[in-house]
């Protein structure tokens, strides 16, 4: 076995606090299993789009107690280097995935051992509570143990700065630098003077704020089916629905209780095909006309609408347009604006322009959307991956408040015999058809992240001249920046006046993703324009599937 690898493994074992993980790694050393040790050591987890995220396993390439301990030491060193006093407190929360409680305990012990103040969530709760509490407590930072919508074997570590938004460069680089050099940690128990639990009163303030904003006066007869997809949103969201005035909300029983195994799902993500199958069956039995879904940590929002005798699952962009059509009426201040990302639909800009509201386009990720307004107020922000910020009280995506906002719009439309689909018809009649689609190809194995970056690089070196029946008019290396945006990984291909394609590696999974938007320039009925746009998109996707083969 490579001697440097053996030394690295031995050094890791010496600092690993978990007996089982130490035995696993020592067994691999004793068996001289270089391939498996390389899988666990050659590509360590690093702070990226949303902190750390990866499979739960021993070694630096996995989520485990040692990784979490080192990450938390990195957070402490980052706060010290940037002059943020840890006596302001760090909010710590967790979801209900396997390992989340253990990792949560590790974070708390390391923070307390360093003399930091800790505000710990009292149970496994939705992610949006952490950024809300960071902001309202004036805390130094926030940590959420979650892998969001990733597969069951994954877990993660999401880090929020003192403004309640996810960290951005160079903060992630500072954390990573200190975490990689971390030595033995000093630990302390919850009996330390700096520990406290987030109070029920503060969590109730979150509920009260959003109920006051989105409650349906007089109650609603709208039939809703709700699923938390085995996540932590269930009890919180159901109580919000009831208190907001919805009398007919049916939970998906088989998916209601938190379960980190996600037994009814191939992938616990509302975007995945088939993820809403149980919700659709439940809704048909209950007679519901709207399905609301949260991902497992409840920061994302999925939805489906009954369309005569079938169900239409809404795309992330469509939910964004719907929310904008309602929320922009409430944005009036000169310092308020809306924002979306480079890979989301361009329709938000058109809706905002018509409403006289400023709109910003950011790099991919809510850490950029949350800060788009600068010293102003973000009245609404969204990304096509089912992330929505409907209120500035939470500087991150929030599937709970988003669900209340979308349900209120559905209720208001129902009073005149309309649905969310009717509102989409109105929007595309006014602003033009915007056909969007996404292609995601997964790369499995230890070299997955390397492979998807190779695919993106190959596209830059040999870009296509056309996609489907549309000519490629422009190829932009996003790592060099574009328009007024900073550098990011990916390629943008313009399709002339017909739209654009963005290809980039996922920031949270070993996937390469392509985001397509086509805006057809043809006359005719709305259904005809949509059909034509669908044909154009299909041709683009067919070519992309070949170009991006792994």
* Domain C-terminal end among 198, 219, 248: 198
| Residue numbers in the chain where pLDDT is lower than 70 | 49, 445-447, 507-509, 550
CATH number at residue 177: 3.40.120.10
The full DSSP string for 281-345 is HHHHHHT-SEEEEE-TTS-BEEEEEEETTEEEEPPHHHHHHHHHHHHGGG---TTEEEEEETTS-
pLDDT at residue number 550: 64
CATH of the domain at 500: 3.30.310
Task: Say yes or no: 155 and 221 in one domain.
Answer: no
Within this chain, do residues 477 and 542 fall inside the same structural domain, yes or no? yes
Residue 447 backbone phi and psi in degrees, to 5: -95, 15
The answer on 487 and 395 residing in a single domain is no
Residues 469 and 441 both lie in one domain: yes
Q: Residue 461 has which token pair?
A: 């070196």
Which residues neighbour 461 within 8 Å (Cβ) at sequence distance 6 or greater?
A: none
Q: Is 407 a catalytic residue?
A: no
pLDDT of residue 43: 87
Q: How far apart are CA 142 and CA 71, in angstroms?
A: 13
Q: Determine the pLDDT at residue 511.
A: 83
pLDDT for position 530: 95
Examine the domain organization and report whether 37 and 173 are in the same domain: no
**Where does a domain end: 150, 172, 198?**
198
Considering only the C-alpha atoms of the chain, give the largest distance between any 2 of them, rounded to a whole number of Å: 73
Q: Which domain holds residue 113?
A: 43-198
One domain, residues 146 and 250: no
By three-state DSSP, how is residue 460 classified? Answer: helix
Angstrom distance (rounded) from CA 294 to CA 226: 8
Q: Are 34 and 1 in contact (CB under 8 A)?
A: yes
> Which candidate in 100, 148, 220, 401 is catalytic?
148
pLDDT at 508: 63
Number of domains into which the chain is organized = 4
Q: Are strands 141-145 and 246-251 parallel, antiparallel or unpaired?
A: unpaired
What count of residues does the chain have?
550
User: What are the angstrom distances between the C-alpha of 184 and each of 15, 113, 114, 258?
Assistant: 6, 11, 12, 34
244 lies in the same domain as 342 = yes
pTM of the model: 0.95
> Could you tell me if 2 and 17 lie in one domain?
yes
Same domain, 256 and 299: yes
Domain boundary among 411, 430, 449: 430
Are both 277 and 194 inside the same structural domain? no
**Judgement on whether residues 175 and 278 belong to the same structural domain of the protein:** no
Nearest to 344 by CA among 146, 228, 504: 504
Residues 339, 247, single domain; the answer is yes
């Amino acid at each position: 076995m490579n001697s440097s690898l053996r030394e690295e493994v031995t050094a890791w074992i010496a600092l690993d606090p978990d007996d089982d993980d130490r035995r696993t790694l020592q067994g691999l050393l004793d068996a001289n299993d270089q391939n498996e040790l390389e899988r666990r050591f050659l590509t360590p987890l690093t702070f990226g789009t949303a902190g750390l995220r990866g499979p739960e396993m021993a070694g630096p390439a996995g989520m485990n107690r040692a990784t979490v301990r080192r990450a938390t030491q990195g957070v402490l060193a980052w706060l010290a280097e940037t002059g943020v006093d840890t006596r302001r407190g760090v909010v710590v929360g967790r979801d209900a995935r396997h390992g989340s409680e253990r990792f949560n305990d590790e974070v708390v012990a390391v923070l307390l051992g360093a003399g930091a103040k800790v505000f710990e969530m009292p149970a496994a709760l939705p992610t949006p509570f952490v950024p809300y509490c960071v902001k309202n407590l004036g805390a130094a930072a926030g940590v959420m143990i979650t892998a969001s919508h990733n597969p069951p074997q994954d877990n993660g570590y999401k880090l929020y700065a003192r403004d309640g938004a996810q960290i951005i460069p160079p903060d992630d680089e500072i954390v990573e630098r200190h975490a990689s050099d971390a030595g033995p940690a000093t630990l302390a128990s919850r009996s330390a003077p700096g520990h406290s639990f987030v109070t029920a009163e503060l969590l109730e303030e979150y509920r009260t704020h959003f109920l006051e904003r989105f409650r349906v006066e007089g109650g609603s007869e709208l039939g809703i089916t709700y699923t938390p997809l085995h996540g932590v949103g269930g009890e919180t969201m159901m109580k919000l629905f009831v208190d907001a005035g919805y009398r007919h909300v049916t939970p998906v029983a088989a998916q209601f209780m938190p379960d980190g195994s996600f037994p009814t799902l191939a992938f616990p993500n509302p975007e995945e095909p088939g993820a809403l199958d149980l919700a659709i069956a439940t809704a048909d039995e209950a007679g519901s006309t709207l399905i609301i879904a949260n991902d497992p940590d409840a920061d994302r929002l999925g939805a489906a609408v009954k369309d005569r005798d079938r169900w239409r699952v809404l795309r992330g962009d469509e939910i964004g347009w719907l929310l904008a059509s309602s929320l922009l009426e409430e944005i009036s201040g000169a310092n308020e604006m809306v924002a979306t990302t480079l890979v989301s639909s361009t329709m938000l800009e058109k809706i905002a322009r018509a409403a006289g509201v400023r709109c910003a386009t950011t790099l991919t990720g809510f850490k950029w959307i949350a800060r788009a307004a600068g010293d102003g107020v973000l009245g609404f922000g969204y990304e096509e991956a089912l992330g929505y910020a409907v209120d500035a009280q939470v500087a991150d995506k929030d599937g709970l408040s988003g669900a209340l906002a979308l349900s209120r719009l559905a209720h208001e439309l129902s009073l005149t015999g309309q649905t969310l689909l009717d509102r989409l018809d109105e929007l595309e009649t006014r602003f033009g058809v915007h056909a969007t689609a996404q292609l995601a190809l997964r790369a499995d194995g230890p070299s997955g992240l390397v492979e998807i970056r190779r695919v993106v690089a190959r596209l830059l070196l040999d870009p296509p001249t056309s996609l489907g029946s549309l000519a490629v008019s422009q190829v932009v290396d996003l790592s060099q920046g574009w328009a007024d945006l900073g550098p990011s990984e990916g390629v943008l291909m313009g399709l002339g006046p017909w739209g654009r394609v963005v290809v980039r590696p996922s920031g949270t999974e070993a996937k390469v993703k392509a985001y397509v938007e086509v805006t057809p320039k043809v006359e005719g009925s709305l259904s005809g324009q949509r059909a034509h746009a669908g044909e154009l998109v299909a041709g683009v996707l067919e070519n992309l599937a070949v170009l991006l083969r792994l």
